[in-house]
Amino acid sequence: MTIQNPESGDFRRDEVIAGEYVLGVLSAEDRRKVEARMVLDRSFAAMVGRWQDNLSSFEDEYEPVVPPARVLTMVERRLFADAVSSAPAAAVSGGFWNSLVFWRGLTLAAVIGMAAIGTINSGLLSGSQGGKPLVAELSGEGSTSINLLAQYDGESGALRVVPVAARQTEEKSLELWLIVGDKPPQSLGVLPQTGKGEIIVPQAMRAKIAEGATLAVSVEPFGGSPTGSATGPVIAVGKTRSL
Amino acid sequence: MTIDDISTLIGRISLRDRAAFSQLYKKTSPKLFAICIRILRDRNEAEEALQEIYVKIWQRADRYATGETSPMSWLSAIARNHAIDVIRARKPVANTIDEAYDLADPSPDPEKSALNSAEGRRIETCMEQLDRERAEAVRKAYVEGLSYQELAELFNVPLNTMRTWLRRSLLKLRECMDQ
């Protein structure tokens, strides 16, 4: 196979470096350089990913060895030791939305693509590339708040928000907000208390839910915010991305 | 154990589900431990590495995207990368990626090309097209995490020859897999 691309020299060199990285033959310093480039250069990262997939069948050579039980004990001690001591956060009221401290302190959305999302198919999202369904994991600070998994199907307008480990048990409602750019948050609706429901996003709002938009959840009086803007503490926030 | 199981577990871990984490550990740690033992060649170090690896898995679960890569190879990559980082730190090797690469021009091989199917091909088929020793070097580099220096000693060739072997082999594999 001949390569006609005039830049093929660099391209081929990149392929080789990506392959060397996956093989593991590079020095520690070179490995850091490769990883830095993967962050900045998506097509290079894709090369690395492709090698990873291609070569992974060599892993059949690793005969499984059950590790001693103490390893898991140590791992869990390291990961979960401090989790027991923290108490649920008290609700903070008023002005929270605009608080800089809030924005700074917030663990910004870890965005995920989960196998479970596979159940939403053919989600055509107008205006978003590839018409893929969107998903966002919304997470609050530490272990004190709740985590939510939001799945949006643009075709039906169904936005499904599943609270994970909800801790707010009073007569409060969770309200979902959409933030596009610097615009003020707009309500998408109140989440059903059952924890497994859907919000049908109003037609007018659907076009606004695109990749990169932010979803946030606030704690509001039962039935939703009385004012039309978030009044309670924002307990979770996350950016959407295509699956 | 299906791929979907593991991928679901990783998804649940990203939502901080500890039960899912210990389930994933039970299902996958024998494989990842094997990787550590093979690359580090020391059981105590392998245990220590395995700890670090599962801490990373917990921390990075939210970066796993279904569809981009198989969940098992995502996990293995975390394990291999960690183990290789440990040995490269323990036994430094020369930096190479800023030097010139002797890649030569790929020579079209009509005979072999004729065998190619339209589909992307499996690595094993492409490995068969490499010289036996070079294929073995590629495999050993991956499975045991050997450096160029170690490979050169093992195959009894000069260091630069080994670099050229592996780099050209990678190109041939890439071209073969892409056909």
Helix (H) / strand (E) element for A159: namely strand A158-164
Residues of B within 8 A of A24 (CB-CB) are 39, 80, 84, 141-142, 145-146
How many Cβ atoms are within 10 Å of B149's Cβ, its own excluded? 14
B63 contacts A110? CB cut-off 8 A: yes
Q: What is the pLDDT of residue A118?
A: 25
* pLDDT band, very low/low/confident/very high, at B162 (cuts 50, 70, 90): very high
Among A2, A64, A137, the residue with its CB nearest the CB of B108 is: A2
| B159 in reach of chain A (CB within 8 A) | no
Chain B residues 107-126 with a CB less than 8 Å from chain A: 108, 113, 122-124
Q: What is the pLDDT of residue B8?
A: 86
| A141 in reach of chain B (CB within 8 A) | no
Q: Is the dihedral of CA B75, B77, B78, B83 positive or negative?
A: positive
B173 contacts A19? CB cut-off 8 A: yes
ipTM of the modeled complex: 0.90
Task: Tell me which amino acid residue A229 is.
Answer: S
More confident residue, A46 or A170: A46
For residues A43 and A152, give the distance between their C-alpha atoms in angstroms, rounded to a whole number.
28
C-alpha dihedral (B158, B161, B167, B172), degrees to nearest 10: -130
Q: What is the pLDDT of residue A233?
A: 62
A28 contacts B89? CB cut-off 8 A: yes
Q: What is the pLDDT of residue B95?
A: 87
**B110-178: CATH topology:** Arc Repressor Mutant, subunit A (1.10.10)
CA distance B15 to chain A (A): 7
Mutate to test the interface with A, among B24, B25, B87, B143 (most CBs of A within 10 A): B143
Residues of A within 8 A of B166 (CB-CB) are 20, 23, 25
Q: What is the DSSP string of A23-61?
A: HT-S-HHHHHHHHHHHHH-HHHHHHHHHHHHHHGGGGGG
CA distance B133 to chain A (A): 16
B22 contacts A30? CB cut-off 8 A: no
Kindly state the average pLDDT of the residues B79-98: 91
Q: Where are the domains of chain B?
A: 3-90, 110-178
Q: Where are the domains of chain A?
A: 8-61, 100-242
* pLDDT band, very low/low/confident/very high, at B123 (cuts 50, 70, 90): confident
Return all residues near A61 (Cβ < 8 A) that are at least 6 apart: B139, B143
More confident residue, B3 or B141: B141
Q: Hunting for tokens 């008023």 — which residue is that?
A: A94
Asked if A107 and A140 touch (Cβ cutoff 8 Å), the reply is: yes
When computed from its CA atoms, the radius of gyration of chain A, rounded to whole angstroms, is 23
Among A72, A112, A243, the residue with its CB nearest the CB of B14 is: A112
More confident residue, A198 or B148: B148
Q: Among the listed ranges A64-68, A123-127, A189-193, which one has the minimum average pLDDT value?
A: A123-127
Alpha-helical (H) ranges within chain B are: 3-14, 18-40, 43-60, 71-90, 110-113, 123-127, 132-144, 148-155, 159-178
Q: What is the pLDDT of residue A14?
A: 93
| B66 in reach of chain A (CB within 8 A) | yes
Q: What is the pLDDT of residue A129?
A: 36
Q: What is the pLDDT of residue A213?
A: 80
Express as a percent the part of chain A with pLDDT over 70: 53
Q: What is the pLDDT of residue A230?
A: 74
Reply yes or no on whether the pLDDT at B53 is more than 50: yes
Return all residues near B107 (Cβ < 8 A) that are at least 6 apart: none
Among B51, B141, B175, the residue with its CB nearest the CB of A74 is: B51
* pLDDT band, very low/low/confident/very high, at A147 (cuts 50, 70, 90): low
Six-digit token string for B69: 């890569």
| A62 in reach of chain B (CB within 8 A) | yes
Tens digit of each residue's pLDDT (9 = 90 or more) over A92-119: 333 333 333 333 323 323 222 222 222 2
Mutate to test the interface with A, among B14, B134, B169 (most CBs of A within 10 A): B14
* Beta-carbon contacts below 8 Å between A and B: 204
More confident residue, B83 or B61: B83
Q: What residues does A187 pair with on adjacent strands?
A: A177
| B67 in reach of chain A (CB within 8 A) | yes
Reply yes or no on whether the pLDDT at A143 is more than 90: no
Kindly state the average pLDDT of the residues B149-168: 96
Residues of A within 8 A of B42 (CB-CB) are none
A72 contacts B30? CB cut-off 8 A: no
Q: Which CATH number fits domain B3-90: 3.30.43.10, 1.10.1740.10, 3.40.30.10, 3.40.50.970?
A: 1.10.1740.10
Q: What is the pLDDT of residue A180?
A: 80
More confident residue, A160 or A228: A228
CA-based nearest residue in chain A for residue B84: A24
Is residue A92 exposed (0-12), middle (13-18) or buried (19+ Cβ within 10 Å)? middle
3-class DSSP assignment, residue B99? coil
B124 contacts A57? CB cut-off 8 A: yes
Chain A residues 181-240 with a CB less than 8 Å from chain B: none
Chain B residues 25-64 with a CB less than 8 Å from chain A: 25, 29-31, 33-35, 37-39, 47, 50-51, 54-55, 58, 61-64
